[in-house]
């Protein structure tokens, strides 16, 4: 059944347009609060946000919803998404809420929900909450209405947590690091954590004004970081997104390092130190074939999940893996966190950099990516049932057989078919993708 509110990562949309309105946010608070009013203890929820202008409005609406059903609210202010997961567990809260649209522009916002274990809610929990949003929930008696209070040390708690993932016997002394915080949730915590570990820190994207989050900066727009790394002669650059659950690296030569290369580094290091759990790592169907071949060469496997960090995490938990992520830089290191954490992943990269003594350009380029091309094409009707489209797909698969792979997937949010191919022959990859896209358009 199609969902009305929840997508693959919570609720997200254009602010002041359904479902991202204050009225609906209040109902989400009431529904989620009611769903987690279990047991006789005093119930509480942690609410945090990134730096979007609409964060204040959504925070107030959610607070009204939760308190109206009898749940206390702990407001943590602007902190990264992984900090919410950490605080939810640390404070023994019943729920955690992050108000963020991640790497989207400031016009959008979103609501991500975490359970008491610090993991994002299951499909079943989200379905129950969604069913309650449009219904009337029982409000608390006047004397049982929840209270709201703001905690002032949330950032400090998260910095302490992140630093604890860095090896005790290492420091970042002498390392020049540029960090781009995307004018987002990590603007205060990331530079400070790096400085406290001894790095010489050059911070950009740290002056949020409510509307500049992710604007020409951060992990989805790394050009500014590339230029800065070269300008100041830094050893490495770190780019986070608006809610700091993604990481992209720039080496000392200004070259971009994506999530696949970062996962290779962290996995290889874990294998060498005996810390790897499972027979490899979990990534998505979008990860490069080069990563899969590199893992195979080390006697490891690449397990592919559907697109979306929640599906990566589900496979990790089911198979006992401790490393997983996406090519986009959403990395999940289960030994440290219950969700993607850009700063913690960056600290593992920096630890490897210090321990190896190698330059980032050598350390972080472990394999040559196989040529990959992704195109999106809008459609009408049902093209994936069209004979000509199916024939084009079958022909493409046959031509790539043994030398690459083909992935066709329909978007869950818009009338778009995404066609991705990769293989050793760049011209063949391009031809296959263009022929399938043309067939979809003509269908």
Looking at the DSSP bridge assignments, the partners of residue 376 are: 418
Residues 34/133, Cβ–Cβ less than 8 Å: no
Cβ neighbors of 290 (< 8 A, separation 6 or more) are 260, 367, 368, 369, 370
Q: How would you write 426-437 as a 3-class SS string?
A: HHHHHHHHHHHH
Helix (H, G, I), strand (E, B) or coil at 217: coil
C-alpha span between 165 and 336 (Å, rounded): 7
Spatial CA neighbour of 345 closest among 234, 258, 254: 258
Looking only at the bridges linking them, the beta strands covering 44-49 and 72-78 are parallel
Looking only at the bridges linking them, the beta strands covering 372-378 and 416-423 are antiparallel
Sign of the CA dihedral running 225, 307, 244, 349: negative
Residues 194/177, Cβ–Cβ less than 8 Å: yes
Spatial CA neighbour of 248 closest among 235, 261, 258, 263: 258
C-alpha span between 310 and 337 (Å, rounded): 13
Residues 250/229, Cβ–Cβ less than 8 Å: yes
Is 122 part of the annotated catalytic residue set?
no
Sign of the CA dihedral running 272, 277, 278, 284: negative
Sign of the CA dihedral running 113, 221, 287, 107: positive
CA angle 166, 281, 127 (to 5 degrees): 95
Structure tokens given for 407: 């992935």
Give first-to-last CA distance, the chain, whole Å: 26
How far is residue 443 from each of residues 62, 105, 390, 432, measured CA to CA in Å? Answer: 45, 33, 10, 17
Catalytic residue among 54, 102, 287, 328: 102
C-alpha span between 135 and 212 (Å, rounded): 36
Residues 69/40, Cβ–Cβ less than 8 Å: no
Inter-helix orientation angle 81-90/342-356, to 10°: 100
C-alpha span between 82 and 338 (Å, rounded): 8
Known catalytic residues are 102
């Amino acid at each position: 059944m199609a969902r009305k509110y929840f997508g693959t990562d919570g609720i997200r949309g254009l602010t002041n347009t359904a479902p991202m309105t204050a009225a609906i946010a209040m109902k989400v608070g009431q529904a989620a609060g009611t769903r987690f009013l279990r047991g006789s203890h005093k119930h509480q929820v942690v609410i945090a946000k990134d730096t979007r202008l609409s964060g204040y409005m959504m925070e107030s609406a959610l607070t009204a919803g939760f308190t109206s059903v009898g749940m206390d609210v702990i407001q943590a202010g602007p902190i990264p998404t992984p900090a919410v997961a950490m605080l939810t567990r640390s404070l023994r809260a019943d729920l955690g809420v992050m108000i963020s649209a991640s790497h989207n522009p400031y016009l959008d916002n979103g609501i991500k929900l975490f359970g008491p274990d610090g993991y994002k809610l299951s499909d079943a929990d989200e379905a129950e909450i969604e069913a309650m949003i449009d219904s009337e929930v029982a409000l608390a008696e006047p004397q049982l209405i929840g209270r709201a209070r703001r905690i002032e040390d949330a950032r400090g708690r998260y910095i302490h947590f992140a630093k604890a993932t860095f090896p005790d016997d290492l420091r970042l002394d002498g390392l020049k690091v540029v960090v781009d915080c995307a004018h987002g949730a990590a603007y205060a915590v990331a530079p400070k954590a790096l400085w406290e570990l001894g790095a010489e820190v050059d911070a950009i994207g740290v002056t949020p004004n409510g509307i500049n989050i992710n604007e020409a900066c951060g992990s989805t727009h790394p050009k500014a970081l590339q230029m800065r790394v070269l300008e100041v002669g830094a050893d490495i650059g770190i780019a986070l997104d608006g809610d700091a659950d993604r990481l992209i690296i720039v080496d000392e030569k200004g070259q971009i390092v994506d999530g696949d290369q970062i996962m290779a580094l962290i996995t290889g290091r874990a294998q060498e130190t005996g810390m790897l759990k499972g027979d490899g790592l979990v990534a998505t169907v979008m990860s490069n074939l080069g990563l899969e071949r590199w893992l195979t060469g080390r006697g490891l496997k690449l397990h592919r999940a559907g697109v979306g960090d929640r599906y990566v995490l589900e496979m990790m938990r089911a198979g006992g893996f401790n490393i997983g992520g996406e090519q986009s830089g959403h990395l999940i290191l289960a030994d440290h966190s219950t969700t993607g954490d850009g700063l913690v992943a960056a600290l593992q990269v920096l630890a490897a950099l210090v321990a190896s003594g190698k330059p980032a350009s050598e350390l972080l380029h472990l394999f040559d990516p196989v040529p990959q091309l992704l195109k999106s094409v809008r459609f009408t009707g049902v093209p994936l049932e069209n004979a000509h489209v199916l024939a084009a797909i079958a022909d493409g698969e046959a031509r790539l057989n043994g030398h690459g792979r083909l992935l066709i997937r329909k978007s869950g949010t818009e009338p778009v078919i995404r066609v991705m191919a990769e293989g050793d022959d760049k011209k063949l990859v391009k031809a296959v993708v263009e022929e399938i896209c043309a067939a979809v358009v003509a269908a």
